[in-house]
Amino acid sequence: MVDTHCPYCALQCAMTLSVGADGVAVQPRDFPTNRGGLCQKGWTSAQLLSAPDRITTPLMRDASGELRPVTWEAAYDRIVSSVRAAQGAVGADGVAVFGGGGLTNEKAYTLGKFARIALRTRLIDYNGRFCMSSAAAAGNRAFGVDRGLPFPLEDLGGADAVLLVGSNLADTMPPSVVHLDGVRRRGGLIVVDPRRSATAALTENGSGVHLQPIPGTDLVLLLGLVHLVLQGGAADEAYLAERVSGWDAVATEAALWWPERVSRETGIPVSALRQAADLLVSAAPHRGGRGAYVLTGRGAEQHAHGTATVTAAIDLALALGLPGRPGSGYGCLTGQGNGQGGREHGQKADQLPGYRSITDPVARQQVAAVWGVDEADLPGAGLPAVELLDRLGRPGGPRVLFVHGANPAVSGPDAARVRDRLAALDLLVVCDFVPSETARLADVVLPVPQWAEEEGTMTSLEGRLLRRRRAVEPPAEVRDELRIWAELAQRLDTPVRFATDPREVFEELCRASEGGLADYSAANYDLLESVTPLHWPVTSADGTPRLFLDRFATPDGRARASVPDLVTATERLGPDSPLHLLTGRVLQHYQSGAQTSRVPDLVRAAPRSAVQVHPVTAQRLGLDEGSLARITSERGDAVARVVLSDHLRPECVFVPFHFDGEVLINDLTDPATDPVSGMPQFKACAVQVAPAGEVPA
């Protein structure tokens, strides 16, 4: 019996693994986040351990273009010679690294160290740039620190109102919905989503209100709610005076967004806007309520104005006096399993361990001392993911790319262009345990362990440090990434030692993070064995479950209210592209689908993609239930079966992004990025939809 956590989302549900003659069995374990529950993905997670196409030996592309098994020595020789050739021709940045939000803390930390010390490149970023970078940018600007939820998830249970903007928890993190039971009983759940998603449906029967805006108008909606709070004299003036800077400018901007104007732009009735504002106001502590929370997700963030939208959400929370007050707050619902820890310890283009800037001289000196190098030898800031991927193989750009824990061939915006850039490389190296779409394009594939075959730590969406424990041994030829990077560093004549034991790496990570925003310095594996609610910063054995109770992490201790930049979407509807394409997830699948598409029970439940179309729209376009539709943007097209649904606005269609083949929907999405965070605009794509006729199955 091995206690561990689910391999999928950032909720990190607790589970116990039992190993027997028939394989590995999963049982849920009681824990504050999942309270003994699991979703379909968690229940079936052990099936992935026996995936029939598991990669068990190194693979290398031969002269005929086929990936063939080779020895580790042959794979290493190819990698090292290509790295040296690329850097000899282009310089240190002839090599780039793309990481993932599912790597353990130890691996995320070591990958950043490997890139900057062994490869000497500044070009490292990760798929978390696609996940919540806009919320991180807004949170850092407002509060001085970014922790997805600066409070335990279970705190939501006592609130009178919870506003969810662009998050479909019921499908993406089903066990978390139990924490909304209290607010639903009190009629205070407010969900903002152009679709009547499974989460939006939780507002029915008097449980709350569903606001169904035109895509891309969340920013205006939030400013309108701030306006209503101020117009009604319901702002927490004492809190704003004592704990917030810059409020007057926000109030001046919000005054311009009267309800009728907001209604015209968002498509939401004025009565619904007022109802939502009234629920929030009555829940606010200064008005005698139990408390309120404002939470954002990818639907609000994956826009060219995502940082501005989250800024407006934070402004709304500040107006009501929520952040830093027990029983209330603002938070971002991190998606990937280690999306929080993965961005804290060095995978991001501009960061060093402890969530510190790579341009900060003090941080550079401390980390250099821990690594045993001269501070001057550390490279500077690199490029955010979309820009990094677009540089691949271009003149003067990277010629070699390492990919770890990511599948950008499917998950990147304008994914066909990403695949073109990957094909332009001299060498693509992918570490994976299944042949993802990116691995199939690689020149060298290195087999690595799965979640139940490795040791390490993860950091949940609450900033809670968790142990991942090994239950079974990986196949004989599989090597852990920590060992791979240590062996490659040695072959690249790196003078710095790379530890391969996760416990030793964690201790080094803790030293390197000391004094940073994400300070793990007082943590260790023994402490994590005995203390489950340990949240960072961990400067003592107690951790910090709730941030901002006394002060914010800004120089003066005050939150910074900011006027959101009113950036418009780069794509607007027109005669040739009259519909909004919405992308997202379905209950049974996760991220690019590389893992869940290999779990038989999940594939049986959701075997293929589909395009949801409103019946009114379908009738106008000549589409029937089950017919084939071609979805076209200026970047490409995809063909999918039609599912009629009145759960979305008539000017929208919805397609999940988990599937490859003819319905690789990210081939259509907009690569425009937020100017602050670098997050791509997945959620604002103008498309045309038309009958496709029958095509071979």
Would you state the pLDDT for residue 695? 47
Q: Is the model's pLDDT at 665 over the cut of 60?
A: yes
Would you state the pLDDT for residue 258? 97
List, for residues 415-429, the tens digit of each pLDDT value.
Answer: 899 999 999 999 999
Q: Is the model's pLDDT at 292 over the cut of 90?
A: yes
Is there a single domain that holds both residue 87 and residue 223?
no
Q: Is the model's pLDDT at 184 over the cut of 90?
A: yes
C-beta separation of 9 from 153 below 8 A: no
**Spatial distance between the Cα atoms of 486 and 356, rounded to a whole number of angstroms:** 24
Is there a single domain that holds both residue 418 and residue 468?
yes
**Percent of the chain whose predicted confidence (pLDDT) is above 90:** 83
Residue with tokens 């800031």: 381
> In terms of pLDDT, which residue wins out, 291 or 346?
291
Would you state the pLDDT for residue 597? 82
**Spatial distance between the Cα atoms of 22 and 563, rounded to a whole number of angstroms:** 59
Would you state the pLDDT for residue 694? 58
**Spatial distance between the Cα atoms of 307 and 284, rounded to a whole number of angstroms:** 25
Is there a single domain that holds both residue 35 and residue 147?
no
> Sorting pLDDT into bands at 50, 70 and 90, what band is 660?
low
What sections of 357-501 are H helices per DSSP? 361-371, 385-391, 408-411, 415-423, 437-440, 481-491
What range does the domain containing 22 cover? 2-50
Distance of CA 277 to the CA centre of its chain: 28
Strand, coil or helix: 274: helix
Is there a single domain that holds both residue 40 and residue 68?
no
- The stretch 177-203 carries a mean pLDDT of 97
List, as one string, the DSSP characters of 654-682.
EEESS--GGG-GGGTSEEEE-TTT--EET
| Domain edge (last residue) among 333, 349, 380 | 333
List the strands of the sheet with 23-28, edge to edge. 2-5, 14-20, 23-28
Is there a single domain that holds both residue 277 and residue 138?
yes
Is there a single domain that holds both residue 400 and residue 478?
yes
Q: Residue 282 corresponds to which tokens in the numbers above?
A: 């009555």
| Domain edge (last residue) among 501, 524, 557 | 501
Is there a single domain that holds both residue 176 and residue 308?
yes
**Spatial distance between the Cα atoms of 403 and 392, rounded to a whole number of angstroms:** 13
Give the mean pLDDT of the chain: 94
Would you state the pLDDT for residue 427? 98
Is there a single domain that holds both residue 218 and residue 290?
yes
Would you state the pLDDT for residue 569? 65
Q: Is the model's pLDDT at 530 over the cut of 80?
A: no
Per DSSP, 116 falls in state I
> Sorting pLDDT into bands at 50, 70 and 90, what band is 570?
low
Would you state the pLDDT for residue 541? 85
Is there a single domain that holds both residue 207 and residue 306?
yes
C-beta separation of 638 from 631 below 8 A: yes
CATH code at 248? 3.40.228.10
C-beta separation of 278 from 163 below 8 A: no
CATH code at 26? 2.20.25.90
Q: Which of 124, 172, 582, 514 is nearest to 337 (CA)?
A: 172
Q: Is the model's pLDDT at 568 over the cut of 80?
A: no
Number of domains into which the chain is organized: 4
* Least confident window among 129-133, 231-235, 554-558: 129-133
In a domain, residue 32? The reply is: yes
Q: Which of 649, 673, 641 is nearest to 580 (CA)?
A: 649
Is there a single domain that holds both residue 276 and residue 317?
yes
Would you state the pLDDT for residue 587? 79
Model confidence, pTM: 0.96
Is there a single domain that holds both residue 606 and residue 636?
yes
In a domain, residue 210? The reply is: yes
| Domain edge (last residue) among 451, 486, 501 | 501
Q: Residue 375 corresponds to which tokens in the numbers above?
A: 């501070």
CATH code at 487? 3.40.50.740
In a domain, residue 557? The reply is: no
In a domain, residue 243? The reply is: yes
Is there a single domain that holds both residue 107 and residue 165?
no
Strand, coil or helix: 637: strand
**Spatial distance between the Cα atoms of 433 and 43, rounded to a whole number of angstroms:** 20
Amino acid at 571: E
CB within 8 A of 530, min separation 6: which ones?
A: none
